[in-house]
Homo-oligomer: A and B are copies of this chain.
């Protein structure tokens, strides 16, 4: 049914003519049409209105030419589905006024009915799928349990996540109870996304890299792997534990089909750690999209030379930043498409 299934082929380890390309946060603040919608509707209105979420999801497919759409949403819909209030002030980041401190706080969390309470995500996926009409695959996503715990405990962003870590170090049983609750609802949520039309799902562990290898193995990895195991017969799963290069070997032996890496791992190191057992996604430094276009194109070519064209998805190593000119984003995508031509 898909006219362009490069992404899915790459995730299945099948031969491709060139690597697929998409960009984390490709539907976002660097696009003038997104900014227009932002001026009219606040963040969670955009997330919760399927027509708006679909329009935003399609913008980079139409305007930048990426090989996949990723549904416009937010990882913090899960804390919302679990009963926690989440607000977002534009440019200031998320805020959760009621943080998790005790067993009673965890007991009070709702763990059923993600499909029901997050129905607007499924509607947006269905609508986007229809509008895409098979042009490119559609990616669903969720936050990883450790990253969601970070926000639930801290209530906002942090440089060090030391409150979240303090919670994990001083009350490990409670931390695991919370991580398991998040994991269970996330599995149900991702399965519902696949049912609604997602061709693949990505799990964002944005703050995994704040953990030591030993703590990652304790508080992050088991839950990531539980999700990958649970979804493996539904759709290919991409894990993106940002900064956790040290876990690449273990992840390459998991049920995940793909793993995201940032630009701090060289392609050679990433291939050495993973032994070609998993598809690698990444790892262009978004700041390099601020370089002149010829420099971007040269750097993309070098990146693909180093990763190789197979079992590889060209992407950034983190979300695209609002200050990137649209032409530079296009140059990134074009350079991948032109590779080898």
Q: Which A residues fall within an 8 A CB radius of B?
A: 160-162, 165-166, 169-170, 209, 211-215, 243-246, 263-266, 269, 285-288, 290-292, 295, 318, 321, 323
Contacts and interface: CB of A to CB of B under 8 A. Distances in A.
Copies per assembly: 2
Contacts of A212: 263-264, 266, 285
Given A209-B264, A212-B263, A264-B212, A290 B162 contact: yes
A290 B166 contact: yes
B266 A160 contact: no
Contacts of A162: 286-287, 290, 321, 323
Contacts of A292: 169-170
A286 B246 contact: no
Contacts of A245: 245
Contacts of A321: 160, 162
Q: Which 6 A-B pairs have the closest CB atoms?
A: A169-B291, A165-B287, A166-B290, A162-B287, A212-B263, A213-B266
A264 B246 contact: yes
Contact of A290 (B165, B263, B286): B165
A290 B162 CA distance: 8
11 contacts: A161-B287, A162-B290, A165-B288, A165-B290, A166-B287, A169-B290, A212-B263, A212-B285, A213-B264, A213-B265, A246-B269
B288 A169 contact: yes
Contacts of A209: 264
Contacts of A160: 286-287, 318, 321
Contacts of A286: 160, 162
